[in-house]
Structure 1
Amino acid sequence: MRFFVTSAIALALGQGANAAFGLTSTSSRYIVDTDGGLVFEVNRSNGDITSLKYNGVEYQGTGKASAINSGLGTSTVTGETVNGYIKITVKASGSKVPVTQYYVAKPKEATIYMATYITGEVDPGELRWLARLKTSELPTGVHGDVGSTRGCEAFEGKDTFKCSNGQTRCKMYTSDRFIDDKVHCVSGSKAAVCMVMPGTAYETSASGPFMRDINSQTGDSDQELYWYMNSGHVRTEPWRLGLMGPYAMTFTSPNTKPSENLDTSFFGSLSIQNYVAANGRGSVSGTASGVPSGYETVVHWYNKNNQYWTKATNGAYTSPPMRPGTYNIKLYKDEFLVANDTITVTAGQTAQKDIASKEPNTPVIWRIGDFDGQPFELKNGDKIERMHPSDVRMASWGGSYTVGTSKASDFPMALWSKQGGTATVTFTLTQDQVKGHVLRIGTTLSFKGGRPSVKINSWTGSDPGAPVLIDSRGITRGAYRGWGDVYNWSVPSSAFKVGSNTLTVGVYGSGDATWLSANYIVDALELQD
């Protein structure tokens, strides 16, 4: 049932009066009281959220509204009560690509459930939910202050900042891998506001389980809370289209996270465009084998329309509920690809599929780091997700490594053509070891065509050629994951000598700016026996 009230009463409700669950309206807005402490208002001309009151406190910022991207512009906005839930539908008419945004309220919950339906890429080439909240009420961003621009000045683009103490900030530093990012929050003394991505919320996003994107940015007046559905930030796939979500924004007490397992099955009763309920989906179960203990075993399904993933437990896995179709399968050791396969999923059925690692167990003379698709064990790898490579907390770039005495953290996790110098590896060979070997270097991400150059003593390896371009800044914005290229050089016996040998690793590529020259991130390197 839908109730219409006078403007005066609607205003009182909008200011957080204790009222029963319900939808009211004026000529300019819809007011939703969830009867769970949250009252929010939606602009009837464009679908923006203009007020967010939780327990009587206003959390909506005063400068700009909360909306998809920076607002959808002129839209048709309708509100109704359907099967006991409040549903507001926003159909944009001012954007280049039709976008439909849904807001749904459930009784007794301080939560706005949402879903976003698109039929093409939107301008300016990214799709995000952006809540603009009050910094005064919610001063702590995701991962603390790594995304706070307060008191800092931009020094790279308009999104990377340096503070007076030499530390750096960027909203990209608030990101986490999609496979792990199920709940993220901004908080204050009275409340936390959290984005929740339950179930298959990421199924129409792009670039797989290890994609990361902006979660928050803290400014002087606005605390921005995001959920990025699609962007060009180190994206390795074309956009997927269709229904994004369901996802949710929920209000809770400070230092409390809502459950990552929000039940969104009630969307099946709300006539949400392109929503597929559980009974219209299938799944895959099986065993993933061959990944050594100590590494995550990740199974990833994808096609041009959808993507899914899970972590195997003791080798056993079951997929999330999947839309019917034929899917590629990737098996990862942490983030290092070790097998490929395919599977067809049918609604109402569980397909059986075992997959095994095809990573060869090649003997090596030495290895630096782990071939796991991550640079974290190498120098500065423990910091790169949350700060710029010029940050004062970073160790100096470049360096030397001596096999047998050095630690993995002595070898730099990234090299630049214009900054950071080169890295050297000193190793000793016996007479029996002076023969042909394979030098193998794994990388996780490249910028401006950066790839390894190698020299052993007086022998120089050939240029392996530039990798496929990802047209996005990476390492300077905290990203480390790209294509995951692996390079191999067959090194002749004449390159080696008995006793001490030196490998010099540098960068092919160029660039004008210090930190934006050609670069690549190192996964691991080894000399095979």
Structure 2
Amino acid sequence: MHLSSIATLTLTFGRGAHAAFGLTSTSSGFRVDTDAGLVFEVKKSTGDVTSLKYNNVEYQGTSKATAINSGLGTSSVTGETVNGYVKITVKSSSLPVTQYLVAKPKEAIIYLATYITGEVDPGELRWLARLRTSELPTGVHGNVGDTRGCSAFEGKDTFKCSNGQTRCKMYTGDRFIDDVVHGVSGSKASVWMIMPGTAYETSAGGPFMRDINSQTGDADQELYWYMNSGHLRTEPWRLGLMGPYAMAFTAAGATPSGNLDTSFFSTLSIQGYVADSGRGSVTGSASGVPSQFESVVHWHNTNAQYWTKVKDGKFTSPKMKAGTYTMKLYKGEFLVTTDSVTVTAGQTVSKDIASKEANTPVIWRIGDFDGRPMELKNGDKIERMHPSDVRMGSWGGSFTVGTNKAEDFPMALWSKQSGTVTVNFQLTQDQVKQHVLRIGTTLSFKGGRPSAKIGSWTGSDPGAPKLIDSRGLTRGAYRGYGEVYTWTVPASAFKAGANTLTLGVSGSGDATWLSANYIVDALELQD
């Protein structure tokens, strides 16, 4: 093994007293002192991180290491200093994965990057830091992923506690577009994952994908960054370099900036790394989305994905790899335009985009077609708890147009659990004519799709939507392909005065909460 410029140090680590920045080779591993209070050790045979000391306190878990997935197994591990930075390279002997760990002087940060040439069995790619719950008891979003004292009741990942509240590591997730920094904390320190710049460019799922961020157990506090998984997977994996990303240590409660400069990776010979000089960008205006909704522009192809939020009608993309991209505009998370654009390295291309959503008059509308169920009943809770949680409101029921508000209409329906929802509405004699019923959904499970009946009319079954073979609604997720269903309802279905829409679920299932279901975005009767 060739090591360049390795400083061999004999160190006594004390709180507030640190040796000079550098790398030490031992018989079993590499020890890195950041000269910022963080000293970590990497095992030579596997690349596992076996020690994480910050201000002389050990934060590494006691039984399992910190690594990609649950460890890469036997690997070729090299350590060196390059241009003033410590670089450790881990090449798995059995998996298509190369992992990089990099340290920068006087920063309590481990910079990371993961290069893959194929999918990793069993379908997940994640950085998993196994830390000590005793030192870092508070997980991401507090206790939503804290399984201590609770019992599994759905699979091995969803738990119910004695007070009727529910816990699941999936409840700790946030949308990729918002999830730049997340962490766990204790009385002495906090540990953070940072995904700066274009860290997500080779992940899959788009800007609204969510995945696991932490899980709190009796011994280990698990801190994650999920690069790829099978959790509500809507597109194939991308291959290449994931990141750079980072794991940072701070004083308790001190949140680090997400604007982490990783441009120095261009000097480190990191496989798959593309510097800003080899990238281009897109700038332009986005129009047609009402001001009360967030506008998001999204670019993607088989090699990369990017996104940005529109501000004052304008946008500028992140620095993008060269190529031709599908370009999308969202009203909230509801797709309103699809276009394409070609990006050239070293250039900025101008490309405007405008909503193509039709402004159709309606008799009534429940909710907003924004790709999210948050304004509907229980929509404010579904990301952080199971539908059976005692804090949830009831499911199913009756809704009266003009009397009830959007928050009275349940954000999800099940073929077994919630029965049906009835929508009562009034029509004038002039309104007794043919109308279009439009129902938007965000996610389906086991073929769940809307069934609809008004008066003597029963809507035809639209057929099962594209299957996503993953639990979603019961694990805090609401985002799938986002199907929209429409039916032309004949005038004979309506009458002057009181009318009722009965909305149910087509599909089946073999368990109460795991029967066919779908999440409602919005519904309307068009004039």
Task: Give the TM-score, by structure 1 length.
Answer: 0.98
The reply on whether 1:411 has 2:437 as its aligned counterpart is: no
Structure 2 residue corresponding to 1:472, chosen from 459, 463, 470: 470
Deviation, 1:124, is: 1.0
- The CA distance in 2 between the partners of 1:256 and 1:400, in whole Å, is 47
Structure 2 residue corresponding to 1:509, chosen from 502, 507, 522: 507
Q: Paired residue for 2:131?
A: 133
Q: Paired residue for 2:6?
A: 3
What amino acid sits opposite 2:471 in the alignment? R
What amino acid sits opposite 1:273 in the alignment? Q
What amino acid sits opposite 1:74 in the alignment? T
Deviation, 1:94, is: 2.8
Structure 2 residue corresponding to 1:117, chosen from 115, 124, 134: 115
What amino acid sits opposite 1:387 in the alignment? M
Q: Paired residue for 1:266?
A: 264
CA contact (8 A) 2:326 2:339 kept: yes
Q: Secondary structure at the match of 2:283?
A: strand
Deviation, 1:17, is: 6.1
Structure 2 residue corresponding to 1:335, chosen from 330, 333, 336: 333
What amino acid sits opposite 1:3 in the alignment? I
- The CA distance in 1 between the partners of 2:106 and 2:213, in whole Å, is 27
CA contact (8 A) 1:134 1:221 kept: yes
Q: Paired residue for 1:370?
A: 368
Deviation, 1:353, is: 0.3
Q: Identify unmatched segments of 5+ residues in structure 2.
A: none
- The CA distance in 2 between the partners of 1:410 and 1:26, in whole Å, is 63
The reply on whether 1:91 has 2:91 as its aligned counterpart is: yes
Q: Paired residue for 2:64?
A: 64
Q: Identify unmatched segments of 5+ residues in structure 1.
A: none
Q: Paired residue for 1:26?
A: 26
CA contact (8 A) 1:192 1:254 kept: yes
CA pair 16-100 structure 1, distance change in 2 beyond 3 A = farther
CA contact (8 A) 2:36 2:108 kept: yes
Q: Secondary structure at the match of 1:214?
A: coil
Alignment root-mean-square deviation, CA? 1.1
CA contact (8 A) 1:298 1:334 kept: yes
Q: Paired residue for 2:454?
A: 456
- Residue deviations 1:407-431, cap 9 Å, x none? 1111110000011111110000000
Q: Secondary structure at the match of 2:357?
A: coil
Deviation, 1:458, is: 2.2
Aligned counterparts, 1:485-524, within 5 A? 485-524=483-522
Q: Paired residue for 2:166?
A: 168
Fraction of identical pairs, as percent: 80
The reply on whether 1:424 has 2:427 as its aligned counterpart is: no
Q: Paired residue for 1:224?
A: 222
Structure 2 residue corresponding to 1:198, chosen from 196, 199, 203: 196
- The CA distance in 2 between the partners of 1:192 and 1:225, in whole Å, is 11
Structure 2 residue corresponding to 1:293, chosen from 291, 294, 297: 291
Aligned counterparts, 1:241-260, within 5 A? 241-260=239-258
Aligned length: 524
What amino acid sits opposite 2:91 in the alignment? K
Structure 1 residue corresponding to 2:380, chosen from 361, 382, 407: 382
Deviation, 1:27, is: 1.3
- Residue deviations 1:394-415, cap 9 Å, x none? 0111011101010111111000
CA contact (8 A) 1:16 1:38 kept: no
- The CA distance in 1 between the partners of 2:205 and 2:191, in whole Å, is 27
What amino acid sits opposite 1:107 in the alignment? P
- The CA distance in 2 between the partners of 1:208 and 1:194, in whole Å, is 22
CA pair 42-13 structure 1, distance change in 2 beyond 3 A = farther
CA contact (8 A) 1:14 1:40 kept: no
What amino acid sits opposite 1:526 in the alignment? E
- Residue deviations 1:154-183, cap 9 Å, x none? 000000000000000000000000000000
CA contact (8 A) 1:80 1:88 kept: yes
- The CA distance in 2 between the partners of 1:353 and 1:403, in whole Å, is 41
- The CA distance in 2 between the partners of 1:282 and 1:374, in whole Å, is 32
- Residue deviations 1:362-403, cap 9 Å, x none? 000000000000000111000000000000000111011101
CA contact (8 A) 1:457 1:496 kept: yes
- Residue deviations 1:309-333, cap 9 Å, x none? 0001011000000000000011000
CA pair 116-15 structure 1, distance change in 2 beyond 3 A = farther
CA contact (8 A) 2:8 2:23 kept: no
Deviation, 1:13, is: 5.5
What amino acid sits opposite 1:207 in the alignment? G
Aligned counterparts, 1:429-448, within 5 A? 429-448=427-446
- The CA distance in 2 between the partners of 1:500 and 1:279, in whole Å, is 65
CA contact (8 A) 1:425 1:504 kept: yes
- The CA distance in 1 between the partners of 2:407 and 2:350, in whole Å, is 41
- The CA distance in 2 between the partners of 1:294 and 1:251, in whole Å, is 38
CA contact (8 A) 2:14 2:56 kept: no
Task: Give the TM-score, by structure 2 length.
Answer: 0.98
- The CA distance in 2 between the partners of 1:343 and 1:319, in whole Å, is 12
Q: Paired residue for 1:210?
A: 208
- The CA distance in 2 between the partners of 1:524 and 1:380, in whole Å, is 14
CA contact (8 A) 2:284 2:351 kept: yes
Q: Paired residue for 1:526?
A: 524
What amino acid sits opposite 1:71 in the alignment? G
CA contact (8 A) 1:119 1:241 kept: yes
CA contact (8 A) 2:286 2:315 kept: yes
